[in-house]
Amino acid sequence: MPEESDVVDALSNLKPLSLHVPEPKFRPGDAVDFADVEVPAAGSVRRPDTLAPAQDFTDLAYTMVRVLDEDGQAVGPWNPQLSPDRLRRMLRDMAMVRAFDERMFRAQRQGKTSFYMKSLGEEAVAIAAAHALDDEDMCFPSYRQQGLLIARGCPLVDMMNQIYSNTGDKLQGKQLPIMYSEKRFGFFSISGNLTTQYPQAVGWAMASASKGDTRIAATWCGEGSTAEGDFHSALTFATVYRAPVIFNVVNNQWAISSFSGFAGAEATTFAARAIGYGIAGLRVDGNDALAVYAATAWAAERARTNAGPTLIEHFTYRAEGHSTSDDPTQYRSAGEPTAWPLGDPIRRLKDHLIALGEWDEDRQAAMDREVAEAVKTAQKEAEKNGILGHGLHQPLDTLFDGVFEEMPWHLREQRQQMIDEETASGRPWARK
């Protein structure tokens, strides 16, 4: 046994402990160089059988599934070989999302609503996934997947009514703008509490399996949300019960002001989270619509054949602010969006269609004008129902609606008390 003094002497020779605090590579004013981002050649990543055990392809969590090459050609084993009509629909849906985002962003700046979140540069993540999933599959989104609703045909006016919290808002103004809830289109209510949708998606998927249904669930979160406890609880339940669910981690490099290193990106990929849970993990070029489609279709087949869940990391980039409340110039270099090595998802899919001889720049310009006009027309229609900037549009007593299937006595009493007080005060908010 060493003497205590010997141990103390040995420890005294050690260097002091230090704490590693992650730092982004580029700050405001810095020149940007993404040369260290490893981008494998399109078509170079193998595609395992959907029934293969997850431990047989752990390498796919550390590389990147890519289909579109620099010449706009679809190459390799992940090429989903989609028809030109399908490709054009996906391109139009992505263009519609971008036009919708731009007009609603301006509406917020004009004081017509309080809040908005754009998905500029991330349109392929939602649109391609929506096209790969069955319309009956249930989606549990985060707050930048408005493309799911647009691809599934949700009326733009309904989405705008929710953003404006006006008289046409089916949610009666109870949700923050952009936190949609659309049962008609398999779109679960968005929550401002990060990653609550993950265990909800697993529970829904488990229920579907226990009933012998054929529908699966898909859910989305940002890379920062993988640090939430709900993320890990969901993966535990999913792996134990082989829940038919697809976990999508949208790694757009930034949370509202902290970079992905604070969620663990310096140590490993987010797709590698899957390995410790024994589930399939894929890392995908999130700006490649064909890669996103192929990975989602692969994961959906895996789920539907009882082979278990899949975690897909979509490697992409948030080209603008986190929301209308955020100014990204305060924490990142202005050169990042244009220097991002994976390009623009709309341009890449457009170039692919042109390379196939199925599209051209004139048709692209005409389509852009068409979707912009459609969004403008929808906005005018929605604003007939009012805008958030003009105040409360719902009777005040609707605050009590939609909480219980049957309202308990004490809430009925409170509602009546409120109505009596509002009526006596002469304020116009009580239900007539």
Cα separation of 336 and 34, whole Å? 9
| Residue 131: active-site member | no
Contact indicator for 29, 333 with CB cutoff of 8 Å:
yes
Partners of 65 in the beta sheet? Answer: 284
Residue 190: which residues within 8 A CB-CB, separation 6 or more? Answer: 141, 142, 143, 175, 178, 179, 180, 181, 197
| Residue 322: active-site member | yes
Active-site residue, from 215, 314, 322, 332: 322
Dihedral (CA of 248, 270, 128, 294) sign: negative
Cα separation of 244 and 207, whole Å? 10
Cα separation of 273 and 285, whole Å? 17
Cα separation of 169 and 177, whole Å? 10
Burial of 55 (0-12, 13-18, 19+ CB in 10 A): exposed
Provide DSSP, 48-115.
--TTS-GGGGGGGGTS-B--B-TTS-B-STT-----HHHHHHHHHHHHHHHHHHHHHHHHHHTTSSS-
Active-site residue, from 144, 273, 283, 318: 318
Residue 352 CA to chain centroid, in angstroms? 24
DSSP structure class, residue 40: P
DSSP structure class, residue 341: T
| Residue 318: active-site member | yes
What residues are annotated to the active site? 318, 322, 331
